[in-house]
Amino acid sequence: MEELLCTKNLCRRFGGVMATNQVCFSVNNHGLTSIIGPNGAGKTTFINIVTGKIGVSSGKIFFKGQDITNKPTHELVKMGICRTFQVNSLFEDLSVFENLRIARQAKSGGSLRIFSSKQTLKAVTEYTWAMLERLGLKDLAARPAKNLAYGDQRVLEVAIAMAGDPKILFLDEPTAGMSPAETEHISKLIKELACEICVVLVEHDMDMVMSISDKITVLQDGCIISEGTPEEIRNNQQVREAYLGKEE
């Protein structure tokens, strides 16, 4: 199967610290890959590099065979590389509907001015309602984003990222701070998305990771120490010593 995205010997130094060290990582067109590891393992740094938030010190990144190393984030989003963040990044005073509508309209190239194409606005509006219904947010459409429950805010962030029609979606700790019920809801959503596109998940909830991942990549001190299925990772002694064992 052809690789959608891959990195070759990816490195990032911060002063004398090698936060990402010779990382060779690849994913295909769909499926769910989780990246796990202890705090300070380089997980978020890796996502920041691949999504254009920070540059590389050395190494290469390829997307659909094209070298995208050090391309800016806005160009990567246009290509279909999107992400969410650990901290909510919503327009808090706007409604749920408006948050998603604006994101979709930006993708569609429609202007926010009153003379925008009626056809474009109609398509954007129809998409927005359909996505809100799919994600269980339709009844909350008129509510300001700041008044949503925390779990619903994270779901809205995923919806906004999906509005860009991503080919690959990076999720950085989407369940942090969630209740068990909220975690279960977003886990199901993420698994459904992974049937359609490639999803890369950074997550500390090991029960969630083991239950929904197709593949798991384990980082320690900026290096990949193991990759495999959940069962293979669960039974890997090096991984247990580096990470899973500490959780237990």
- pLDDT category at 193 given cuts 50, 70, 90 is very high
**Contacts of 112 by beta carbon, 8 Å cutoff, 6+ apart:** 102, 105
In the predicted structure, residue 112 carries a pLDDT above the cut 60: no
Q: What is the largest CA-CA distance in the chain?
A: 62
- pLDDT category at 204 given cuts 50, 70, 90 is confident
Q: Over the chain, what is the mean pLDDT? A: 89
Tens of pLDDT, residues 41-62: 999 999 999 999 999 999 999 9
Residue 114: per-residue pLDDT = 45
In the predicted structure, residue 115 carries a pLDDT above the cut 50: no
- What is the arithmetic mean of pLDDT over 122-134? 92
Domain boundaries, the chain: 1-80+166-248, 88-165
Query: What is the C-alpha to C-alpha distance for residues 178 and 52, in angstroms, rounded to an integer?
Result: 28
Residue 58: per-residue pLDDT = 95
Tens of pLDDT, residues 51-104: 999 999 999 999 999 999 999 998 999 999 999 876 667 888 999 999 999 999
The amino acid occupying position 20 is: T
Q: 73: which DSSP letter? A: H
- What is the arithmetic mean of pLDDT over 23-51? 93
3-state SS track over 163-189: CCCCCEEEEECCCCCCCHHHHHHHHHH
Tens of pLDDT, residues 213-242: 999 999 999 999 999 999 999 999 888 887
Q: Which CATH superfamily is domain 1-80+166-248 in?
A: P-loop containing nucleotide triphosphate hydrolases (3.40.50.300)
Query: What is the C-alpha to C-alpha distance for residues 76 and 87, in angstroms, rounded to an integer?
Result: 21
- pLDDT category at 243 given cuts 50, 70, 90 is low
Residue 90: per-residue pLDDT = 87
Instruction: Look at 162 and 111; give whichever has higher pLDDT.
Output: 162
Query: What is the C-alpha to C-alpha distance for residues 244 and 235, in angstroms, rounded to an integer?
Result: 10
Residue 84: per-residue pLDDT = 84
Q: What is the pTM of this model?
A: 0.87
Q: Give the burial string for 9-47 (b: 16+ CB within 10 Å, else e).
A: ebbbeeeeebbbbebebebbebbbbbbbbbeebbbbbbb
